[in-house]
Structure 1
């Protein structure tokens, strides 16, 4: 979907279908199982859900073009984070306890974004333009906050003494949630007020500027964005049942659910990042990619932590040794990749190899 030109039909058809599907399922009391022809329902649900997520991102982009950067990228990131929190919380509340889902999803997002998506964007940009530039100062801000948040939420729980790892005590989790929100809030203030120039690379002539959208189109996009987000939240429960059924059928490991949720929520944002790299706007790709990782940890972990406190469920956060090594390697490579302000094909390929290792280890740990 493009944010330019007339509004595509899919941007309002899929949200309408999602709301309609939810109403039909609710009224009929349909109970999903793969053994009773549920495969067709699962396919229909996934198609509508993916389409609705893309529609939400499209409307976010329409609004983003009006408000400009970096606020536009921030809006897109927040919309995707709302979808992520809804899916994670709903699956955790499903028939099968999934205390590790938030950890697996957050880790999957970091791996997909910092290795798969960043690697692909850098690789594509390198093939097309040999080298691409970006703001080193902005990348350093992203990485410093991301490394701190990832360590506090995914590594530190393994080494606490109040409770045996990999979980925080209630008091510890509340404190970490608080400092996570504060740190992310200060990052947003830095990105949108103090140092906006860190996150906007110098554009080529003829590019940039805020889009002058008709008021009616902007208002319609705002309404449809809210409907799209609501529709995804409403269908999250049925999606959780499909995830459980598919995982049981193929004998997938527990981390599979987190990987699937991460792929669903990151796909439209990933398409936007890759498109930006193809247009020689690697700065926007970095804003989308690293911004997604930051929002996932800075907003999702506190939200899920609050939800688990309310529903009195445990929240497993600490990574195992294998995943910790991959996380450390990812941050080390990221510091090297974003350390010079210029990228090339080899940087992208190395990141994609690390992502391939992560994906392989999910199924063959």
Structure 2
């Protein structure tokens, strides 16, 4: 009975969220309805996590992590583009702020929480350094090409790419991400499977019955409904978020951080759940895969959208963020290389995440 109630909840919430989206789209909402829409948005996020995990269980790892990473990134891309179209010149840095926030949240926040969850219980967290190292190298390259280089190029004014440079960054990002997906799912799939403490590769779904094809297809449909609802309701809530940030006297970059925190909530929940099952590799796949998808798919989408967007597109990071990014890459490399992590590494990542949040509010 409890299981049936849970299944009913994951069906009703996306439907109610989609209904709320239809009723609230293009309208200014009173306070009570803003709260209701926010609750339905949160419920749609949780429903999306559930249905993504059902699909992941059906297709297996690392395909499952890829499904959720791409699904979350679709939310992010759609939300960024829609806000930039409606926001004009005030959203010139929104893509940069949101993508960089996604990198910091995943590499420090999600990784730190996942390692903390495991090391508090098991003392050490074991994972496959070969696969995680490849993911980290790809992420560092994508981030540098898209977010660091615009600060130092001279063809355009400010921390921005010229048209040809943006086109190159978009093609390079998409190509690198596509190559990584092939490596993760076809060429070296075993590098991205969980490992036991003795180093043996495990298949997380080999002993559990997989959902039927019909169940997986149903979850796929409900996942799409939940994602559309999340994108739309987040757009409905965005004026409230922007007004709250402005009234609090916070920097505009905080809007990007809030958006990234919102869209990465499904990844965070799924990663911590995997860590509780002692499947750290899945947590790292989710974290790094989501950051790569965020850059590899967002930058090409923004490059295409820039053809009709008004105002500049500023992608280059400032000095403070460059320092945080460089430190994150160094710390992440030292965490990944041994293939094992302790409570110390989780603490370092979480402190870096806290520093990012603090400096976003007080730059």
Category of TM-score, reference length = shorter chain: over 0.9
User: Match of 1:186?
Assistant: 179
> Secondary structure, in 3 states, of the residue corresponding to 1:8?
helix
The 8 Å contact of residues 276 and 284 in structure 1, kept in 2 or not, is answered as yes
> Any idea what the Cα deviations from partners look like across 1:234-292, whole Å, max 9, x if unmatched?
33431221222211222221111111011111112101111211221111111011111
Alignment of 1:154 onto 2:147: yes
Q: TM-score w.r.t. structure 1 length?
A: 0.92
> Secondary structure, in 3 states, of the residue corresponding to 1:197?
helix
Alignment of 1:287 onto 2:280: no
Distance, in Å, in 1 between the alignment partners of 2:217 and 2:106 is 31
Shift of residue 203, structure 1, vs aligned partner? 5.1
User: Match of 2:352?
Assistant: 354
> Secondary structure, in 3 states, of the residue corresponding to 1:231?
helix
The 8 Å contact of residues 57 and 80 in structure 1, kept in 2 or not, is answered as no
Distance, in Å, in 2 between the alignment partners of 1:174 and 1:313 is 17
Q: How many residues align?
A: 356
Shift of residue 140, structure 1, vs aligned partner? 0.9
Shift of residue 100, structure 1, vs aligned partner? 0.6
The 8 Å contact of residues 124 and 342 in structure 2, kept in 1 or not, is answered as yes
Alignment of 1:12 onto 2:8: no
User: Match of 1:35?
Assistant: none
Alignment of 1:170 onto 2:159: no
Shift of residue 201, structure 1, vs aligned partner? 2.3
Question: CA 1:170–1:360 in structure 2 vs 1: closer, same or farther (change >3 Å)?
Answer: same
Alignment of 1:99 onto 2:80: no
Q: Which deviates more from structure 2 when the two are superposed, residues 339-348 or residues 86-95?
A: 86-95
Structure 1 unaligned regions, length at least 5: 33-37
Shift of residue 211, structure 1, vs aligned partner? 3.8
2:271 equivalent among 270, 273, 277: 273
User: Match of 2:60?
Assistant: 68
Alignment of 1:138 onto 2:137: no
State how 1:51-66 maps to structure 2 within 5 Å: 51-66=43-58
Shift of residue 105, structure 1, vs aligned partner? 0.7
Distance, in Å, in 2 between the alignment partners of 1:181 and 1:262 is 20
Q: Which deviates more from structure 2 when the two are superposed, residues 224-233 or residues 61-70?
A: 224-233
**Moved segments of 4+, more than 4 Å:** 4-7, 203-207
> Secondary structure, in 3 states, of the residue corresponding to 2:264?
helix
The 8 Å contact of residues 87 and 240 in structure 1, kept in 2 or not, is answered as no
Q: TM-score w.r.t. structure 2 length?
A: 0.93
State how 1:289-328 maps to structure 2 within 5 Å: 289-328=287-326
1:31 equivalent among 25, 28, 34: 28
The 8 Å contact of residues 72 and 266 in structure 2, kept in 1 or not, is answered as no
The 8 Å contact of residues 63 and 222 in structure 1, kept in 2 or not, is answered as yes
The 8 Å contact of residues 124 and 345 in structure 1, kept in 2 or not, is answered as no
Shift of residue 44, structure 1, vs aligned partner? 1.5
Q: Which deviates more from structure 2 when the two are superposed, residues 182-191 or residues 15-24?
A: 15-24
The 8 Å contact of residues 158 and 164 in structure 1, kept in 2 or not, is answered as no
